[in-house]
Amino acid sequence: ALPTVTLVTGGVPGASGALTAHCIGGFWREVGVASEQSLVLTPRNRVEGLFLTWNKSNLTVKVAYNSSGSCEIDRVVGSEIDTTGKFTFPGHREIHVLDTDYEGYAILRVSLMWRGRNFHVLKYFTRSLEDEERLGFRSFRELTADTGLYLAARPGRCAKLLKEELI
């Protein structure tokens, strides 16, 4: 059986806290990461950007990552498993949208199983290649205040390539 990735909507703006799928679509640059596990902060393939596309009940995610200095782009398609915004993907991850204003920033909680252990990471994304959305960054800092490790403002050469490819 294929492992799953679940996109779970949480306390996001919108009708009854539900994620507005078409509004979360588009380009996102990863700006900050916080985790208790240092291994999660220094992966071999470091995500720099995402481009989300919604089509009925399918979510296509283009991921730009830095793989030892080279930019790589992967594409995965998930399918909706119920009406609460949960999607299954190849891999074993759960993604929970903790906060977003749809236009400037999104904060995600990613949980994954690797080598029999659970890992959790909070990720902060913005729409811009240069700027951090101040309100979102403040919210991210508040959510990660008790987290042991923290990294922010990653360089985004691969994210820039992803955004340029999709314009």
pLDDT digits (tens, 9 = 90+) for 52-104: 887 877 778 898 988 888 899 988 887 665 545 456 666 766 777 788 888 99
How remote is the C-alpha of 113 from its chain's centroid?
16
Token look-up 């800092």 returns 141
- Mark out the alpha helices in 12-120 (DSSP H runs): 21-24, 38-41
Distance CA 95, CA 5 (A): 7
Predicted confidence band at 120 (pLDDT cuts at 50, 70, 90)? confident
Q: What is the pLDDT of residue 9?
A: 39
* Domain with 93 in it: 5-166
- Which are the contacts of 120, defined by CB distance < 8 A and separation ≥ 6? 35, 36, 37, 40, 109, 110, 111
Tell me the CATH number at 63: 2.40.128.20
Q: Does residue 13 surpass a pLDDT of 50?
A: no
Task: Quote the mean pLDDT of the chain.
Answer: 74
Distance CA 74, CA 1 (A): 22
Q: What is the pLDDT of residue 33?
A: 86
Token look-up 């990461």 returns 33
- Which are the contacts of 54, defined by CB distance < 8 A and separation ≥ 6? 21, 22, 25, 60
Q: Does residue 27 surpass a pLDDT of 90?
A: yes
- The strand ranges marked E within the chain are 5-9, 26-35, 45-55, 58-67, 70-80, 87-88, 93-100, 105-114, 117-126, 149-152
How remote is the C-alpha of 150 from its chain's centroid?
16
Instruction: Say how many domains are in the chain.
Output: 1
Q: Does residue 136 surpass a pLDDT of 70?
A: yes
Tens digit of each residue's pLDDT (9 = 90 or more) over 137-157: 888 888 888 876 666 555 678
